[in-house]
Structure 1
Amino acid sequence: MLEATNITKSYGSLQVLKGIDVQINKKEIVSIVGASGAGKSTLLHIIGTLDKPDTGHVHINGQNIVNLQGDNLANFRNRHIGFIFQFHNLLPEFTALENVCIPGYLGKNDQKKVEARAKELLSLLGLKDRFDHHPARMSGGEQQRTAVARALINSPDIIFADEPSGNLDSHTAEELHHLFFKLRDDLEQTFVIVTHNEQLAEMADRKIEMKDGKIFSHI
């Protein structure tokens, strides 16, 4: 599904990624671990189209995403990729349902179908009674599950998560971790997750450890 080859990235004189090769298969949960500064988030942002490498190629379903620009890149990202971040990034002025619908609206999909899909996903994630709640009226776990529903709204090929449980208590984090595997099994969803959470890293189908801008080991 995803193949990245010879990915390098520097910021000024600091070389953050030093020739990364990685492959992600469909319906796979892969964790990326390593000390702070190892290059984990930089790699995630590049393979997730949020940043460009200095050298190398990234293919998702055969499409070289490094060459995409402007509207073509935005449209590809909207249709094929979902994102989950540590701090949810929900828009406070919108309800849970509205937040989940936004990527669907941006993709110019039918409004009624988008809203029906959003309700289906929120219900699946245990948020049937939170459709009309704004983020300020939801717990951290509820906000993060809303963010998961938002990532799923366009049925993406792959979801990238950057420290998705880093802002949650241990019990809520464990629930979120198990949710990822339920979504993998029920929806055949693929996840690439940067995490410092050892439990989540060990649960993954594969663990990629990074050190000093290189892949140190695959487990």
Structure 2
Amino acid sequence: MPILHATNLRRAYGPLPVLNDVSLSIDAGEVVSIVGASGAGKSTLLHILGTLDRPDGGSVTLAGQDVFSLTDKQLARFRNEQIGFVFQFHNLLPEFTALENVAIPGFIGGRDEKAVRQRAAELLSRLGLADRQQHFPAQLSGGEQQRVAVARALINQPAVVFADEPSGNLDSRNAEELHQLFFDLRDTFGQTFIIVTHNETLAMLADRSITLRDGHVVKTE
């Protein structure tokens, strides 16, 4: 049973078509990479699958919900509860500690503050950052910041985590550790990851790799 199913997604910016009838299915617990040349439509597809943008046509069902049938307010709540994001540049808030950054989506979701903080601490410990919880982003290395971002993506136990070039700003050692982390989390939590990447090593490690070209899925392997 797919955790995510997209059918005939279309998106254009002005006269420029970016996605042309893209359809795909992702099973729970899969680590799937989306690859292709710059301009192929990878990030646009990720933003639509992750409900950050609406398509011009087509549908997305995620965790049993037809997401684009929701109002913007309903969709924001669904996104908070069911979707996690990891971006290339971490997007951590500099005035908050690592633990506070991880906890923010839980607070936004109205969850019990003590329980959220406890889960945030547990996630940071599991990700090797037990002694960095009270550090601010500027006091963390790039690899540590990205692990904080991964913990933040997991705080609400989402159905799917979307990652957009997550290792693109890391050196080779930290990139390799981050890639392994995705698979460890999948094995531990059954977490589903959909990852846009130019990193050939990560793409090859994934359970499946979906190749986009000119807004079309041209290969799945």
TM-score (norm 1): 0.99
Number of residue pairs the alignment of both structures matches: 219
How far apart are the structure 2 equivalents of 1:127 and 1:107?
24
2:114 is aligned with 1:82: no
- Matched AA of 1:90: L
2:68 is aligned with 1:57: no
- Aligned ranges 1:61-140 → 2 under 5 Å: 61-140=63-142
Give the Å deviation of 1:70.
Answer: 2.4
Instruction: From 176, 187, 190, give the equivalent of 2:189.
Output: 187
Residue 150 of structure 1: aligned partner: 152
2:216 is aligned with 1:214: yes
Deviation per residue, 1:136-155 (Å, 9 max, x gap)? 00000000000000000000
- Matched AA of 1:128: A
Give the Å deviation of 1:61.
Answer: 1.9
Q: Helix, strand or coil: the match of 1:146? A: helix
- Matched AA of 2:20: K
Instruction: From 13, 32, 35, give the equivalent of 2:34.
Output: 32
Instruction: From 5, 8, 23, give the equivalent of 1:3.
Output: 5
- Matched AA of 2:93: L
Give the Å deviation of 1:83.
Answer: 0.2
Q: Helix, strand or coil: the match of 1:182? A: helix
Deviation per residue, 1:85-120 (Å, 9 max, x gap)? 000000000000000000000000000000000000
What percent of counterpart residues are identical?
Answer: 63
Q: Helix, strand or coil: the match of 2:95? A: coil
How far apart are the structure 1 equivalents of 2:148 and 2:86?
10
Structure 2 portions without partners, runs of 5+: none
Deviation per residue, 1:129-168 (Å, 9 max, x gap)? 0011000000000000000000000000000000000000
How far apart are the structure 2 equivalents of 1:85 and 1:68?
25
The RMSD of aligned alpha carbons is 0.5
Structure 1 portions without partners, runs of 5+: none
How far apart are the structure 1 equivalents of 2:8 and 2:201?
29
How far apart are the structure 2 equivalents of 1:61 and 1:70?
18
